[in-house]
Amino acid sequence: MILLGAAMSAGTVILLYSESPETWGWGNLESSRFISAVSMVRVVALLVVLPLINYVFRVRPAAYRRRVSGVSIVEANNGADTVDCWILRFALLSDVIGSLGYLFARNESVFVLSGMVTAFGGLGSATIQAAITKHVPADQVGQLLGAIGVLHALSRVLGPIAFNTLYYSTVGVFDQAIFVLLASLFSLALLASFMVRPGVYLEEVYTPVPTSESQPSSYSNSEALEVLTEEEMIPNN
């Protein structure tokens, strides 16, 4: 929720900050170039860097183990692995560095470079969405995604209110307060990510459904003999 709320809410405030006459005084052209550069880096991170990491650290080792053992390895629900944890930490670290870059930037080049660094934070959202479902059984994935959807909806409402209110309250006094908040939130999330342990998941527990006790045979042997008709009985020679 911190990642999504901050990413969705900070964009507008960052543009307001960059277009302010007290900072860079950007116009529509400069703002569009900045957004295009940051978006392009994010696209490269999601479409090139993330698949490359997945291929090097997951696909190739799995293919090697399958080739050595000669047995096709079936993937089980074992929770997020070490690769997921380190991708998340790297993404949060890039957000922290980028937010600090926004805070201490004294020229436009450093500001734009900081935006490109924060673009790698998109790896965190993608990793969380993919890894969080690994911690629950398959029959509970729907409930988990529903809870995540509620958090996303709350972040879309509360995030812009909080960030815009903070910028409104501090503009002209300490314009960089929004970046202090961003750096603090991402630093808190980065510290929390080191508490995530790989391989932790909820076990699938199946409770056997009790069945009714087996009923005794409706017919006894004598009753079964009575059912046979004379035509069905084999005559004695």
State the maximum Cα–Cα separation within the chain, in Å, rounded to a whole number.
119
Q: Could you report the per-residue pLDDT of 164-192, keeping only the tens digit for each?
A: 999 999 998 999 999 999 999 899 989 99
Q: Could you report the per-residue pLDDT of 2-46, keeping only the tens digit for each?
A: 666 666 678 889 999 999 988 999 999 999 999 999 999 999 999
Asked whether the predicted pLDDT for residue 224 surpasses 70, the reply is no
| pLDDT for the residue numbered 130 | 80
Distances (CA, A) of 150 to 19, 49, 131: 33, 29, 18
| pLDDT for the residue numbered 214 | 46
Q: Where exactly are the structural domains of the chain? A: 2-197
- Residue 163 and residue 51: Cα distance in Å, rounded? 33
Side-chain-facing half-sphere of 141: CA atoms under 13 Å: 11
Q: Could you report the per-residue pLDDT of 104-160, keeping only the tens digit for each?
A: 999 999 999 999 999 998 898 888 888 888 888 878 888 888 888 888 888 888 888
Average pLDDT taken over every residue of the chain = 82
Whole-prediction pTM value?
Answer: 0.79
Asked whether the predicted pLDDT for residue 68 surpasses 50, the reply is yes
Distances (CA, A) of 79 to 75, 82, 166, 182: 11, 10, 38, 29
Provide the CA 153 distance to its chain's centre, in angstroms.
15
Q: What is the CATH number of domain 2-197?
A: 1.20.1250.20
